[in-house]
Amino acid sequence: MTDEKRQRIRTLALEQMDAQQRRVHAQIAAGPRGDVPGPLAVWMHSPGLADTAQRLGQFVRYESALPPRLSELAILVTGRCWEAEYEWWVHRPIAEEAGLAASVIDAILDGRTPEFSQGDERVIYNFAMELHRDRRVGDATYAAALKLLGEHGVVDLVGICGYYTLIAMTLNVFEVPLPEGQECVFKR
């Protein structure tokens, strides 16, 4: 997926955008992302979706009840479940910077259950994996997440997994490439 020609939908240049698209593009670029990358560039073809989804994304990434280490863990689990190369490429260094151990990240990448040194990470991992694998979570998994995060945090955790599933779907359907020189990590 490193070949730019493989992307199924063109990235719109500003001069190709209508007024609504330019307004949404400017709002996204002025926010904490500072740019309109990957899946958000795809969404510019539907500015209403782009505007609505990017606001959700800004909330779940920057304002949720979960600390960044746990939020990024849920994002990496989602990216791995969907084999979303771009999502993994973006979020692996963010997860490392947030304090998620490289051994945990590598195990997720390899499809293995990590050995966690922090119990809160195990709770998030189990919840996200069970949600993606089974399309629901069992009582014990829910209870552990509720004890750790409270109702507000569990709702935000579901939101993180859901939003990054939308990101992964966008990346995979439109075959959004990695930046030049970056290698795919998932073996297909």
Query: Using 50, 70 and 90 to split pLDDT, how confident is the model at 188?
Result: low
* pLDDT score of 126 more than 70: yes
Beta carbons within 10 angstroms of residue 104's beta carbon: 23
Using CA of residue 134, residue 138, residue 142, residue 144, what is the dihedral sign?
negative
Q: Which CATH number describes the domain made up of 68-169? A: 1.20.1290.10
Which element (helix H / strand E) includes 111? none
Using one digit for the tens of pLDDT, what is the confidence trace for 2-34? 444 578 999 999 999 999 999 999 999 998 888
Looking at residue 185, what DSSP letter applies? -
Q: Residue 82 CA to chain centroid, in angstroms? A: 10
pLDDT digit string (tens) for 37-80?
899 999 999 999 999 999 999 999 999 999 999 999 999 999 99
Dihedral (CA of 15, 17, 19, 21) sign: negative
- pLDDT at position 159 is 98
In this prediction, residue 4 carries a pLDDT of: 44
Domain boundaries, the chain: 4-62, 68-169
